[in-house]
Amino acid sequence: MIQYEQPQYFYLLLLIPLMVLGYVLFSLWKKRVLKSLASAKMIDHIAPERSSFKGWLKQILFWLGWAFICLGLVNPQIGTELETVKREGVDLVFAIDVSKSMLAEDIAPNRLEKAKRLAGELINQLVSDRVGIIAYASSAIPHLPITTDYAAARLFLSSLDTNMISSQGTAISAAMRLAETYFDDENQTNRVVCIISDGEDHGDDALAAASRAAQLGITFFTVVVGTEKGSVIPITKGNSTSYKKDDKGEVVITKSDFEQMESIAKETDGLFLDGSNTEEVVTSIIDRLKQMDKQEFEAKQFAKFKDQFQWFLGIGLILIVLDLFLFYRKTQWVKKLNLFQDA
């Protein structure tokens, strides 16, 4: 098995026919000029040691040297054996709150953008874990199936917004139940759901859902975005901004529920974190993931290729050095043999 690391250098070989053509034309021109200046016998008398064969030999050595150097630049690589590479990791599903309360700006720039930033930084730190994304408000929807494609995960993460689910409200339990369907590997011992939310929950069975998830081997990491003091919910229409109001016409103040999120994490012996400091959250979660047993979920075979450029470059340099040290005079022992009738 062979492959070429830099195949574009093959184009340099096209210069060899041009060099050959150029040398042939130059030789014919030189021969014609010499004939116009003196006869062949006179030229042999003036330069008896001159060898026309040596001229061609020097050029052939140079062309061969050039060809081998070009092959060295291409760097042929020969596959010697198959190597099996195993990937081990944890299944990590992000459940991200996209309800209108996530537009509150008590944490910059707002709760939803902070949640997306936290998830994005976590994905950047992953190595061989699988990730999935769930968006939820009053209901939960699968946003990205579990995958090892981190580029796709970042793309889908950036597309999250509060208009994805038309009916408003927050039902964390719906996200929990949907997360159970994400784990398609029965042998995976570590299944983690990272809930990033302000903790507001309009359902009444979040702890029951967490208890069921714990029995299935699912661990919840809960990250709260927002503050307990709370903030208004801005509603932007065109160039105007208003604030969400309740049925009585009063401006709604949304407050993050730290207690609810902590209870969910404790129910599954998980991790509860305040999302205000991105670096601390990422470090804590990554450290916890490293402590978990890794499940092998993918194995691939790759051919190991060895570079061979050094042989070609070495031969090419030797041929060019021979060309430099080869003179146009006849070699004495060849002259005695008179093989080319060049005496």
Q: Does the residue 145 lie in any domain?
A: yes
Helix axes 52-74, 15-37, angle to 10 degrees: 170
202 and 136 housed in the same domain: yes
Indicate the pairing of strand 130-136 with strand 91-97: parallel
- pLDDT beyond 60 at 105: yes
Q: Look up residue 126 and give its DSSP letter.
A: -
Based on the fold, state whether residues 177 and 209 are members of the same structural domain. Answer: yes
Residues 64, 130 share a domain: no
The secondary structure of 138-163 as a DSSP string is SSEEEEEEEES-HHHHHHHHHT--TT
- Residue 72, Ramachandran bin (φ over 0: left; ψ between -120 and 50: alpha; else beta): alpha
Q: What is the distance between the alpha carbons of residues 134 and 150, in angstroms, rounded to a whole number?
A: 15
How many Cα atoms occupy the beta-carbon half-sphere of 281 within 13 Å? 25
pLDDT at 187: 65
Q: How far apart are CA 136 and CA 281, in angstroms?
A: 21
293 and 321 together in one domain: no
Number of domains in the chain: 2
Report yes or no on 235 lying in a domain: yes
C-alpha span between 314 and 8 (Å, rounded): 20
Q: What's the pLDDT at 246?
A: 80
Same domain, 294 and 312: no
Number of neighbouring beta carbons within 10 Å of residue 187: 7
For residue 58, give its domain range: 2-75+308-337
**Would residue 32 count as lying in a domain?**
yes
Q: Do residues 121 and 69 share a domain?
A: no
Q: Is the domain of 63 the same as that of 91?
A: no
Same domain, 312 and 245: no
Q: What is the CATH number of the domain that holds 263?
A: 3.40.50.410
Residues 164 and 47 in one domain: no
Asked if 216 and 180 count as a contact pair (C-beta separation under 8 A), the reply is: yes
User: The pTM is what?
Assistant: 0.62
Task: Report yes or no: 150 and 123 within 8 Å, Cβ to Cβ.
Answer: yes
**Per-residue model confidence as pLDDT tens digits over 62-74:** 989 999 999 999 9
Q: For residues 70 and 141, state if they share a domain.
A: no
**Within this chain, do residues 19 and 43 fall inside the same structural domain, yes or no?**
yes
Q: Which of 26-40, 42-56, 168-182, 260-274 shows the lowest mean pLDDT across its residues?
A: 42-56
Run of H or E residues at 177: helix 172-180
Give a yes or no: residue 176 inside a domain. Answer: yes
How do residues 230-275 score in pLDDT, each as one tens digit?
999 998 887 888 888 888 888 989 999 999 899 999 999 999 999 9
Question: Which one-letter amino acid corresponds to residue 65?
Answer: G
**What is the reported pLDDT for 229?**
92
- In this structure, the answer to whether residues 7 and 128 fall within a common structural domain is no
Tell me which of 12-21, 29-38, 47-56 is least confident. Answer: 47-56
pLDDT at site 336:
52
- pLDDT tier at 334 (50, 70, 90 boundaries)? very low
Average pLDDT over every residue of 24-30: 85
- CB of 113 closer than 8 Å to CB of 190: no
343 in any annotated domain: no
Considering the domain boundaries, does residue 80 fall inside one?
Answer: no
Rounded Cα distance between 9 and 70, Å, is 6
Instruction: Kindly state the DSSP code that residue 168 receives in the 8-state scheme.
Output: -
Does residue 21 sit within a domain?
Answer: yes
Q: Are 84 and 300 in contact (CB under 8 A)?
A: yes
Band of residue 188 on the pLDDT scale cut at 50, 70, 90: low
